[in-house]
Amino acid sequence: MTSQNVTLTTTPSKNNVFGRLSVLDRFLPLWIFLAMALGIALGNFFPEIGPMLESVKIDTVSLPIAIGLLWMMYPVLAKVKYSKMPQVATNWKMSGTSLLLNWIVGPALMFMLAWTLLPDHPEYRTGLVLVGLARCIAMVLIWNMLACGDSEYAAVLVAINSVFQIVMYTVLGYFYLTVVPSWLGQQSVVLNISMWEIAKSVLIFLGIPLAAGFLTRLILVRQKGETWYETKFVPRLSPTAIWGLLFTIVMMFSLKGEVILERPLDVVRIALPLIVYFFVMFGVAFAFSYLLKFPYADTATISFTAAGNNFELAIAVAIGVFGLASGEALATVVGPLIEVPVLITLVYISLWLGKRLYPTDPLWQK
């Protein structure tokens, strides 16, 4: 599926390509929920699958999940027209807006929601703060693609967020877990994690698929030409990103989905601030971008970049600092289990808003 072939309506017309989508694309929400159910069933009926999946890891992330993350990111990054990225990167108005939303509004909102909705669970609050500080560099590319966002702009924002993440994660962690709680008369938490540990996560889960995507375009365009690459190779490669997403979901829920069955009330408590966070961040980013008169594709990209989080990093930090069995780790583990159904819902909301707020956008005429 390309980044310009999704709409919400179901009646085919000359301005509506939904009716011509593949079965995989058209019923994606159904496949996602089935993948979640399959993962939970596998983890429940075959409990040995958890230790088996955890036996081999890449930077504290289970190897099958890591493969799934890299698999779903590679096709998206292979579609990026890297020659356009310098031009996109110099649009300081849009980049500045994204940085404001990601590094000022996002962490502050998550901190406020965690402290408001989990006043009796400091360990869960801390886990959610760790999630709020980890800005998305992986799944956001999938959500942005499905919502017809700008692939080049998404790649630029992910790269910018990655650099800021290396520099700011520990600084903001100290501020929100040590300084602010002391102002409120509460117990502070010391976050002891090096910049290299954060950089390592970024290099693996962004650097590998980014390099693979760049080299794929560079080599194949030179050998086969731009037209062949865009009309033959990309249409065949793009659907594999969805298969990568579904594979990741099955693995993730088979490994961690048991927490939903074992501690359902705790999961609900943790899920509530996360759900509010996703919807509020997306809504604020979309409204702000619309008022600044950004095109729909850029608005969608800014919104999903602001709403998503780097759960791989948050989970790694929580486990490394507080331990695998800690409440902090549980809160970060619940994060991606909640993000998947909420963000696919936001994809359809984004498309619905796009058609109504941007009726003259050429996207809807394709």
For residue 222, the domain's CATH number is 1.20.1530.20
- β-bridge partners, 57: 62
Burial 1-34 (b: 16+ CB within 10 A, else e): bbbebbbbeeeeeeebbbeebeeebbebeebbee
> What is the pLDDT, as a whole number, of residue 354?
94
Confirm whether 6 is domain-assigned.
no
Nearest to 198 by CA among 241, 167, 153: 167
pLDDT in tens, 284-297: 999 999 999 999 99
Low-confidence ranges of the chain (pLDDT < 70): 1-26, 59-60, 324, 365-366
Confirm whether 48 is domain-assigned.
no
Confirm whether 41 is domain-assigned.
no
Give the Cα separation of 113 and 91 in Å (integer).
32
Give the Cα separation of 277 and 101 in Å (integer).
12
Nearest to 254 by CA among 18, 62, 21, 28: 62
pLDDT in tens, 122-148: 999 999 999 999 887 777 888 998 899
> What is the pLDDT, as a whole number, of residue 60?
65
Give the Cα separation of 55 and 59 in Å (integer).
12
Structure tokens at 312: 């791989």
Confirm whether 3 is domain-assigned.
no
Q: State residue 47 phi and psi, 5-degree precision.
A: -60, -20
> What is the pLDDT, as a whole number, of residue 123?
92
Confirm whether 33 is domain-assigned.
no
Domain total of the chain = 1
Listed as own residue / partner, the contacts of 267-272 with beta carbons closer than 8 Å and 24 or more positions apart are: 267/334, 267/337, 269/117, 269/118, 269/121, 269/124, 270/118, 270/124, 270/127, 270/128, 270/330, 270/331, 270/334, 270/338, 271/334, 271/338, 272/117
Confirm whether 28 is domain-assigned.
no
Domain span at 115: 70-355
Confirm whether 204 is domain-assigned.
yes
pTM: 0.81
> What is the pLDDT, as a whole number, of residue 22?
60
- The DSSP secondary-structure symbol of 183 reads H
Torsion angle (degrees, nearest 10) of CA 321, 162, 347, 212: -110
Confirm whether 275 is domain-assigned.
yes
Q: Which distant-in-sequence residues (6+ apart) come within 8 Å of 308 by Cβ?
A: 135, 136, 139, 140, 143, 339, 343
> What is the pLDDT, as a whole number, of residue 12?
37
> DSSP letter string over 116-157?
HH-TT-HHHHHHHHHHHHSB-SSTHHHHHHHTT--HHHHHHH
